[in-house]
Structures are given as C-alpha cells and as structure tokens.
Amino acid sequence: MFHKEGYKIMAFTAIFLIAINMLSYSFIPTYWIRFSILVVSVILFLLIVQFFRNPKRVTQLSDIHIVAPVDGKVVAIEEVYEKEYFQDKRLQVSIFMSPLNVHVTRHPVSGKVVYSKYHPGKFLVAWHPKSSEENERTTVVVKNNLIGEVLYRQIAGALAKRIVNYAEVGAEVVQGSDSGFIKFGSRVDVLLPLDTPLSVELNQKVKGGISVIAKTEES
C-alpha cells in the first residue's frame, strides 16, 4: 500500500525513467552503458516507491498512552521552553526519520485539534539544534480528554521540500490515524508535560501508531 501523496511523484518518475531508457536504447550503441542506465533507473524507482509506502497499522487505542507519530529513532529527550503555543517548559521527544523509514505522520492521541499552523523556513539538517525553530515546519495540538493537550511538530530537513498536514482546527481525530506526510523529510517532535512518564529512551527505534512513547496515570 502506498500513500496518496506519492502517486503523482511515482508516476512522473516512472514516465521520466522510461523515456530516459528509451532514448538510451535508441542513441547509445554500447550495451554496458545502456544496461547501467537501466539498473540505475530501477534502483532509483524502487527507492522512490519504498519512500511512499504506507503499511497498515492497527493502533491499540488508549487515552493513557501516547504513541509515536512516526517511524524512526529517538534522537533527543530534553526539557525545552515551548514558546509557540504553551509558552512554558515541556518535555520534548524528538524522532528522526531516515530516507528508508515510513514517512506517514500519525496522531499520537485521540481528541480535538485545537491548533494547527504552518511555518515556512529553512532546510537545516534535522538534527541541527535550531531546526525546531528555523526549519519549515507545522505545529499541531490535539486535546485529549484524559491527557490534556499534546503538541507535535513536523520538521523538514535538508532534503525535505514539502510538509503535508491534514490536521484542521476543530476536527475530532483518532489516535494512530493519518495526520500528514513529510516528503523526503526528517523529524517530528512531541512535546509533553514535564512530569509525563516516558516509555522510550535515546536511540530507541519506534513505529508510528504502534510504539508507546509515554504513558500517563489515569485520574
């Protein structure tokens, strides 16, 4: 299964590569050069296709669990001052996505979208300390009845040129459902209350919609 954001890119890539190979077979007499172009074309197309894969995920819905919004590796767990929405200190969990990871963004909790904003910006590498504030990004806040407000931020990286965000203010969303996509992009930050008990550690690999990154106490 592939994500809908990839259909046009995959189709354009296929047409372009087919045209390149037809031209090579028409105008390049040397067999090994034609064959090399074909091999490179196949590898390139497979890389594009795998990037837009969208595997089916079954999220175990829970109002006391916060699930990872994306596939990747936990690269930062730190206390930060969140100045865009909360304007106070929060616990930030940052998940980095390599080009080989699934790039679908999923809602970490169920609830109502109370904030959703796009910010144009730079394309610093995703692990740069200032990427959270200076890169192209979107910020979404979902209010859950039990957990409260959870903020997650899609952040573009050096190769990311478009962030897709489906979260609209006022919408009721379900934990683990599709909330967006980062095309060739690279990082998502989740910001939680400082006293939130975490279920992940640095360098741990997580799966979007499946892995629990934090668990709150039932009130």
Q: How far apart are CA 166 and CA 147, in angstroms?
A: 22
Eight-state DSSP code of residue 71: S
The answer to whether 26 is a known catalytic residue is no
Local structure of 209: helix, strand or coil? coil
Tokens encoding 135: 């890169």
| Among 62, 186, 199, 219, the one annotated catalytic | 186
Q: How far apart are CA 140 and CA 190, in angstroms?
A: 10
Q: How far apart are CA 91 and CA 5, in angstroms?
A: 31
Amino acid letter for position 94: S
Cβ atoms of residues 132 and 151 within 8 Å: no
Local structure of 25: helix, strand or coil? helix
User: What values do phi and psi take at 141, rounded to 5?
Assistant: -125, 125
Active site residue ranges: 186
